[in-house]
Amino acid sequence: MRDTSSEPRVAFNNSSSYSYAYITNSYFNALYSVLSDSNTLALAIQNGTEFSNSNQIEVIAKLGQALSIGYLALVFDKVWISDENGAVEGAEGDGASTYAEAMTFALTKLDEAIAIAQTNGVSVPEAWLPNNGGNSSQFIAFMNSMGARMQVNNARNLTEKGATDWNKVLTYANNGLTSDLEIFMDDVTWYDLIPKTYLVFPGWAQVDMRIISMMDPSMPDYWTDDITVIPESSYGAGVDARLATDYGYLSAQSFRPDRGIYHFSNYRYSRYDSYITNWVENVVEFSAAENDMYKAEAMANSGNVAGAAAIINAGTRTTRGGLANVATDLTAVKAAIFHERMVEFSFTGMGLGFFEMRKENLLQAGTLLHFPVPGQALESIPADGYTFGGSEGIAGEDYSNGGWR
């Protein structure tokens, strides 16, 4: 976190000898492991292997292909695609595909999984998705919501956001979750380390002042040298009510100032304090509010601003945030969607805040827009090493040349 959040931004160390190279390398390898297993299942189905519920296995295989390839596309600049029929040659050299090509492939697999599940009423056992997440209707809704999430968040900049197939996003969202998908965490098989533990545990992480300022405009949006303590919010009129319910005030800093006081904040995320105390309870894995915002964004970008505003005003902006209704105005609607993504559900899924800032050209200048293929993987090809961030890569495509400040 410290290396990628330094100011000014610097190039990501993509050497295999980097002390923390295992982080991106492990994630990269884990997704390909899921893809390999999914391809094996899909091939078994294709070859006529008998299962007690072949439709269920085929859905799981195609869903595994979709999610592994989709998340590789979201996080890395290129992806090596394969399925039960073998490798798929892409346009990036060494057999790799662009993240755009990879996402198209992933969504095709997802659509196939959804179609099979709908036609055959496929569900999955409670052990696979605890707390009734695997019943047929909820499972299909979850897959649709994942389609909306992956398609919207794959854009690297505003130009790519503008090219999004909003009709397809709306179809996914209209068939997506209408209630939160929660997982029962038993602290043995099911537990959530990131983001619901490491990013919320007292003393481990804090909420960027930019978010606090969004909720309470009287707060500064950046911690500067002349600030010693920022008082707690008055939680008065015009302040997002979630600042009091989901965020905890900090009167002192636990971070070392020599590592950058721009990391300082007067709030941490406290909504999961019950979870990090009890460890055994339901937590939200995919919120209905997230799906609602994909629906609203698709409508707004398709000309139905009034419909988008209606969804926002019936949702968490008012029910939990206590904020005034948003006007039927495109700029106001887009700002309200952005606000909900930053405040309401950014901690429910990996990278949601980053993806949103990325597609809006709001990441600070020099921030990488995606990770390079890990150095260890490049060495195994072998292929030349490369990286992004700072001034490495193509401006606006590999690293941010925009920024919110």
Is pLDDT at 125 greater than 90 in this prediction?
yes
353: phi then psi, degrees, rounded to nearest 5: -65, -40
Distance of CA 179 to the CA centre of its chain: 18
**β-pair partners for 181:** 286
pLDDT of residue 1: 86
Tens of pLDDT, residues 370-401: 999 999 999 999 999 999 999 999 999 999 99
For the segment 168-193, what is each residue's pLDDT rounded down to a tens digit? Answer: 999 999 999 999 999 999 999 999 99
Mean pLDDT, the chain, rounded, equals: 96
Where would I find the H helices in 121-231? 136-153, 158-162, 166-174, 209-215
Instruction: Quote the percentage of the chain above a pLDDT of 90.
Output: 96
Interval 186-209 mean pLDDT: 93
pTM of the model: 0.97
What is the SS3 assignment for 326? Answer: coil
Residue 31 and residue 67: Cα distance in Å, rounded?
9
Q: Output the DSSP codes for 238-286.
A: TS-THHHHTEEE-SS--S-GGG-GGG--SEEE-TTTTHHHH--EEEEEE
Residue 139 confidence (pLDDT): 96
- pLDDT score of 133 more than 90: no
**Per-residue tokens: 112:** 């196939």
Which has the closest alpha carbon to 334: 368, 369, 364, 305?
305
Taking the chain, what is the end-to-end CA distance rounded to the nearest angstrom? 20
User: For 78-98, how does the pLDDT look when each residue is reduced to its tens digit (9 = 90+)?
Assistant: 999 999 999 999 999 889 999
pLDDT (tens digit per residue) in 344-374: 998 999 999 999 999 999 999 999 999 999 9
